[in-house]
Amino acid sequence: MDFEYSPQVQTLRQQLESFIDRYVLPYNSAWHRSVAQGVYPPPFMEDLKALARSEGLWNLFLPGLRDDEPGEGLSNLAYAPLAEIMGRLPWASEVFNCSAPDTGNMELLHLFATPEQNRRWLRPLLDGEMRSAFAMSEPDVASSDPTNLQTRMHHEGGQLVLQGRKWFITGAAHPNCKLLIVMCRSGDEGGDKHAQHSMVLVPMDTPGVTLVRNIAVMQHQSPEGHCEITFSNVRVPVTHLLGQEGAGFAMAQARLGPGRIHHCMRTIGQCELALTLMCERTLERQVFDKYLADFANVQEWIAESRLEIDQARLLVLRAAWRLDQEERTQSRVDVSAIKVVAARLQTRVVNRAMQVFGAMGLSPDTPLAYFWTWGRAMQLLDGPDEVHLRTVARHELDQARACRGATAAYFTLPEQLLAEPRIR
């Protein structure tokens, strides 16, 4: 395995870093001020998007783009280090049209939309003219197990009718959010539990769609929103069904793999920034006649953080590479693994940085408090850690089952006892 970034990726990394330094970071204070005043997205966002597009830094995430679609058509492996750079500044992804959940939604539409759905929804998303959200989780059922989902869809008079309640729907409060991709129960109880759900394209302004509230995550209220939404007798034409009826689960799998890799790489970018901030702080802050950097425990925090970040990055890159190779089973397990590793990494590394910063680390004056909150949220969003650990454990156990007894020779029991494998 070659661990070097390709020449193309190295060039794009330099371009992206330089673009962010020159044009995006100088707006950071203005972005926060604007959002605090309720002006979102800030007026300069469209100019930044146009500039990024003109410099070839647009839709960097989507492999398999057609020639007539805007973007670079990078593989997951090539995009991952770029997501890391964007991740350092959480609002930066929008400048490059690489924000969640649009990236996952564009992947989904790219794979399953009809030509008419493409024209109406995918193309404006690729052009950055609108935003979208993915509505799966529900307050009334344990959404870690999506077979529980209860929002119903049925056919009536040539239309699809939706009824239900969703929550924590990221992006739905963005003023440009025009599309909800809604996961609904369309089949009868009984039968294959994984063939009873469908995805429906619901325009945000459809009568019966109500944005009830934007839910704060810990103390943080995100301007694009993690929203509770009700669907009350919502009617859309049957042509708004995405893919096959009953194929919602299979399609969700296709969407979630790359999206999770993007989340993980953005996390790694935030951890890198937290580590840099931590190191700089330890070199300038003195206690008891020594710099913080001179204390053994602080050095250990720094070293542990470096080791953990590098391990996580390698694991994420391998998952991205396997996804590109279309090693479906293995990449699914890898994606589950990195989702757990990256979320835990973020709370651990950022926690150390916060401690080094003292009280300031808990204030909004540094990005650390937000990074920690996001790391905590990562342990739940896109499936809680426990579900992903279950996927990894099941894969290990399947492998062990397939070669049961093969380890017998490693035992040093008397030979007559080894004749029959004793491992259960």
Ligand X SMILES: Cc1cc2nc3c(=O)[nH]c(=O)nc-3n(C[C@H](O)[C@H](O)[C@H](O)COP(=O)(O)OP(=O)(O)OC[C@H]3O[C@@H](n4cnc5c(N)ncnc54)[C@H](O)[C@@H]3O)c2cc1C
Catalog residues that contact ligand X under the rule CB under 6 A. Answer: 101, 134-137, 142-144, 168-170, 217, 226, 377, 380-384, 386-387, 390
Give the residue with the Cβ less far from ligand X, 322 or 332.
Answer: 332
What are the contacts of 308-311 at 24+ separation with CB within 8 A?
Answer: 308/345, 308/348, 308/349, 309/268, 309/271, 309/272, 309/275, 309/345, 309/349, 311/341
Q: Which helix (DSSP H) or strand (DSSP E) does residue 268 occupy?
A: helix 248-284
| Nearby residues of 191 by Cβ (< 8 Å), 6 or more positions away | none
Minimum CB separation of residue 44 from ligand X in Å reads: 26
Give the residue with the Cβ less far from ligand X, 195 or 217.
Answer: 217
Other beta carbons within 10 angstroms of residue 210's beta carbon come to 12
Q: How far apart are CA 176 and CA 131, in angstroms?
A: 5
329 touches 392 (CB < 8 A): no
> What separation in angstroms does the CA of 174 have from each of 92, 112, 120, 234, 381?
15, 25, 19, 21, 19
Residue 160, phi then psi, degrees to nearest 5: -100, 135
In sequence order, what are the beta bridge partners of 185?
A: 152, 197
Minimum CB separation of residue 386 from ligand X in Å reads: 3
DSSP for residue 217 = B
Give the residue with the Cβ less far from ligand X, 25 or 387.
Answer: 387
Give the residue with the Cβ less far from ligand X, 146 or 269.
Answer: 146
Minimum CB separation of residue 374 from ligand X in Å reads: 8
Peptide bond before 41: cis, by omega within 30 degrees of 0?
Answer: yes
Give the residue with the Cβ less far from ligand X, 25 or 389.
Answer: 389
Minimum CB separation of residue 215 from ligand X in Å reads: 8
Residue 372, phi then psi, degrees to nearest 5: -65, -45
Report angle CA 335, 220, 28 to the nearest 5 degrees: 85
Minimum CB separation of residue 134 from ligand X in Å reads: 5
Q: How far apart are CA 275 and CA 346, in angstroms?
A: 11
Give the residue with the Cβ less far from ligand X, 334 or 382.
Answer: 382
Minimum CB separation of residue 101 from ligand X in Å reads: 5
Minimum CB separation of residue 139 from ligand X in Å reads: 8
Give the residue with the Cβ less far from ligand X, 81 or 383.
Answer: 383
3-state helix, strand, coil in the chain (%, to 5): 55, 15, 30
Minimum CB separation of residue 385 from ligand X in Å reads: 7
Give the residue with the Cβ less far from ligand X, 142 or 238.
Answer: 142
Minimum CB separation of residue 102 from ligand X in Å reads: 11
Evaluated on CA atoms 206, 210, 214, 217, the torsion sign reads negative
Give the residue with the Cβ less far from ligand X, 163 or 355.
Answer: 163
